[in-house]
Amino acid sequence: MIHLRIIAPRAHCRHVVELLEDTETVFNVVYLEDAAIKPKGDVILCDVARRDASLLVADLRELDVDVDGSIAIEEVDAEISGIASHAHHRRRDDIGSDPVVWENVASRTSENVELSHSFLIFMALSMLIAAVGIYFDQPILIVGAMVVGPDFGPIAGICVALVNRNRSLVRRSAMALLVGFPVGIAAAFVATVLLKAVGEIPESIDFSDQPQTGFISNPNFFSFYVSLVAGVVGTLSLTTAKSSVLVGVLISVTTIPAAANVGVAAAYGDWSTVGGAGIQLILNVFAIALAGFLTLYVQRRIYIKRRRAHLSEDSRRDAGLPIGESRRAKVKPDQEPEPT
């Protein structure tokens, strides 16, 4: 269930209320006149079945609510209401579905792709943990490094940006990866040099004789296969807000350990291992991005199909919206389908 808080000028509110009243899966509508101060306007609260949240927000955008006011979207963890249950099951195809709230996906990815001090610190720390796991062939430390690593956010950001044709988000996400990985690799390299100098780690490591962690620098078919499957699962966890599933994805992919292995092997002068770990890193990132893009593309096409059908619903007429086409199809072609 999704809760919306809408702030709009009085001139828009009549159409907004009519739209909400005529949408079958909207309920708990509350209208507060002159309740908003900044921006000045009326406040409308409502709940909507998750399946129709993005469709409703798209209609509200056509009414320019996002231009002259604001729309806040919140996930409702639980709602005890016979009306809510009825609204959720009003349409047969709601049952068993797990639809995407695209506005939440865009917001979530936008927050996780910023090249910030905290992002770089997490990248460096995660690779330092992975480096210790590589020194002593300890898989538990490799798993810990995978969980700490923040690199899935920018990879997912690239996928979302490509599907939505958002060049700015592509640049920001790519920059985070292109800076973050070298910083982490450099941290692993420097730490290895210093620890070896003070005698805390072995003077030499045979990376080919590490039964527990040797896979990190030995890419094969299953490296690509697992990353591809993990990319699909990770993207689904993002679009359905299932964070526990995302943790499992992070544990299954060796991007952070592979990058750390590049730094560790370089400090030991083992360039064969550097090459193998580098290939593992590139293979993993590419597979996750490819799977994520394809998953989002399919989900987006399903939404566009539903949006096109929704444009002909009668609820739009009472709200003063055109039937069969969107006012913003020409202005936002990446968000709205062309009229059929």
Q: How confident is the model over 24-66, as pLDDT tens digits? A: 889 999 999 999 998 899 999 999 988 899 999 999 999 999 9
Read off the pLDDT of residues 247-274 as tens digits, 9 standing for 90 and up. 655 665 789 999 999 999 999 999 999 9
Is 58 strand, coil or helix? Answer: helix
- Chain position carrying tokens 């908003």: 36
Q: Are 155 and 288 in contact (CB under 8 A)?
A: yes
Tell me how far apart the alpha carbons of residues 48 and 319 are, in angstroms, rounded to a whole number. 17
The pair of structure tokens assigned to 128 is: 């330092």
Q: Are 213 and 276 in contact (CB under 8 A)?
A: no
Percent of the chain with pLDDT over 90: 61
| The predicted structure's pLDDT at residue 1 | 85
Answer yes or no: is pLDDT of 67 > 50.
yes
The average pLDDT across 167-191 equals 95
Tell me how far apart the alpha carbons of residues 168 and 161 are, in angstroms, rounded to a whole number. 8
- Does the structural domain 2-99 have CATH classification 3.30.70.260? yes
Burial of 227 per CB tally in 10 Å (0-12, 13-18, 19+):
buried
Read off the pLDDT of residues 97-155 as tens digits, 9 standing for 90 and up. 558 899 988 888 887 888 899 999 999 999 999 999 999 999 999 988 998 889 988 99
Contacts with 323 (C-beta within 8 Å, 6 or more apart), sequence order: 311, 312, 316, 317
Answer yes or no: is pLDDT of 94 > 50.
no
- Taking the CA atoms of residue 134, residue 154, residue 284 and residue 163 in that order, the dihedral angle to the nearest 10 degrees is 170
Average pLDDT, the chain: 88
The pair of structure tokens assigned to 156 is: 């997912």
Tell me how far apart the alpha carbons of residues 270 and 282 are, in angstroms, rounded to a whole number. 19
The pair of structure tokens assigned to 171 is: 């640049």
What is the total residue count of the chain? 340
For the chain, give every domain's residue range: 2-99, 106-301
Answer yes or no: is pLDDT of 211 > 60.
yes
What 298-301 contacts at long range (C-beta under 8 Å, 24+ apart), as own/partner pairs, is 299/100, 299/239, 300/102, 300/163, 300/164
In the DSSP assignment, the letter for residue 327 is T
Is 4 strand, coil or helix? Answer: strand
In 3D, which of 296, 297, 307 has the Cα closest to residue 332?
A: 307
Single-letter code of the amino acid located at 224 = F
Read off the pLDDT of residues 69-92 as tens digits, 9 standing for 90 and up. 999 999 888 777 776 666 555 554
Percent of the chain with pLDDT over 70: 90
Point out which residues pair with 26 in neighbouring strands.
48
